[in-house]
Chain A
Amino acid sequence: MNVEITDLTRRFGRNQAVDGVSLQAGPGVFGLLGPNGAGKTTLLRMMATVIPPTTGHLRLLGRDPGAYGPRREVRRRLGYLPQNLGYYPGFTVAEFVEYFALLKEMPAARVPAAVATAVERVDLGGRAKAKLRTLSGGMLRRVGIAQAIVNEPELLLLDEPTAGLDPEQRVNFRALLRDLGQRATVVVSTHLVEDVGAACSQVALMDQGKIVFDATPDELTARGTEQGTGDAPLERGYTAVLAAARS
């Protein structure tokens, strides 16, 4: 298992953002669904080693990221797209991706080809030399995805990756996700249920800091056959599970 989480909690002052989460994920695309404020981003930030858990146990790629050496190894094999991707307006697309390839300690000789591959995979080849300040929101999101996959990560964490993408880009992105999920563990946090249905092999639903559902998208759909509201079967499953968890 590339992700092993046991009883993980994270508290910010009095706010219990993540409350006793246990999860396991191997290679494939893992969808993390939930309403705003459910704790998805906090869980992803802990998995990205940006913040430590308050309590609980976390193993990533078979290592304990609490210790310096293993954490550095995990980070070399990690790709992370935060919800709010900051960028350097004066950098070009290629420079931005290259910068993070270097910070991931990729061998310098491999970096140019890795950057070119990542930029092409997100269909930004035509804008590789464009300054980031000239790009649209959707393009910036794709730049963020490019930096996340530049090191061909074994663990890829994407927080709301399709925010700002147009329908065609979202379809392309889902295909990219499925491709990446063949070799790596891809965890996608989103509140867009259709993304999960199209790309994920496993899905967990979070609410109020807890995991209230963890199975396949088909099983989530099945939960919505008798109750739940929504336009699509998966949406009905989502609302049914949330309603049951809150009742």
Chain B
Amino acid sequence: MTDTDPGVPEAPADVDLGRVWISVAAQVWRRQPGWLERTAGRLLRSPGLARALLTTPSLLLPWLLTSIAVLAAGAAATTDSGQPLVALVAPAVAAAAIAYAYGPGMDPAWELSCSMAISDRMVLLVRALAVFAVNAVLGLAASAVSASGAAAAVTFGWLIPMTAVCAFALAVATVARSANAGAAAGVAAWLITVLSGRVASGHFAAAVTDTFLFLPYLAIGAVCAAIALYATRIPRGTLR
């Protein structure tokens, strides 16, 4: 009795079946990236960074659906009341999303990611930018739907405060290495700003309508962005 089935032709002696199997397995197991990942890969010139972007916790479908629901509710309330509620809600939603974009506790393989050639800082920056852009688009859509009267005047006014609040949430999250701390700080800071604006000027939307606040917002945004960059800095050389 021979070892081989007489009906099956034997492989030539010079064929490495292990290599053949690996080639087959590589084709069978490989994942075909979707159009979004391919586009991101081309734009970022890095398929790894594109994949990291698509694994952003606060860009996953449940989170996006929640953000859309919150902003839709804000748009409906704005239409009914004439108060610019979208402008007041959008910065807080975006700040929380930014804080939950990356970091220990949020990204399951965070420690492993920190040992990768594509630096964790690049991943953080790309994700933060993407989350901000997505939230800005959602906020603009909600504003466009609900714009009327007083609300129309602040359709875009919330973008600058949103930048500041997001940068603040990002700075706290990176310094404290805690997404929860970043989200809480961002939302709390925005709440305090809105309430302070109401107390100082007497109207609820002062935080997004008073143009003299825009310069401080931009300054806070720049300082917080610098803090986030410093917190994720690359150590320059080992100490002796």
Contact = CB atoms under 8 A, between A and B. Distances in A.
A65 B114 CA distance: 13
Interface in B200-224: none
Contacts of B240: 55-57
Interface string A111-124: 11101110110000
Interface of B: 21-23, 25-27, 29-31, 46-48, 51-52, 55, 107-119, 234-240
A21 to B, nearest CB: 13
A104 B116 contact: yes
Contact of B235 (A57, A66, A92, A105): A66
A98 B31 contact: yes
Given A56-B238, A64-B238, A86 B117 contact: no
Contacts of B31: 92, 94-95, 98
The 8 A-B pairs with the shortest beta carbon distances in the complex, nearest first, are A86-B108, A102-B48, A112-B26, A66-B237, A103-B116, A116-B25, A94-B29, A52-B235
Nearest to B54: A99
Contacts, number: 119
Contacts of B23: 113, 116
Interface string A68-99: 10011001101010101111110010110011
B108 A103 contact: no
A177 B235 CA distance: 32
Contacts of B111: 45, 50, 82, 84, 86
A86 B118 contact: no
A87 B116 contact: no
B117 A75 contact: yes
A103 B48 contact: yes
Contact of B110 (A52, A65, A76, A86): A86
A58 interface: yes
Contacts of A244: none
A48 B112 CA distance: 9
Nearest to A107: B47
A55 B47 contact: no
Kindly name the residue among B29, B31, B112, B115 whose own CB sees the greatest number of chain A CB atoms within 10 A.
B115
A85 B238 contact: no
Given A85-B112, A120-B25, A56 B30 contact: no
Contact of B22 (A55, A111, A113): A113
Contacts of A17: none
Contacts of A100: 109, 112, 116
B234 A98 contact: no
B119 A50 contact: no
Given A66-B236, A103-B113, A116 B108 contact: no
Interface string A52-63: 111111100000
Contacts of A88: 55, 108-109
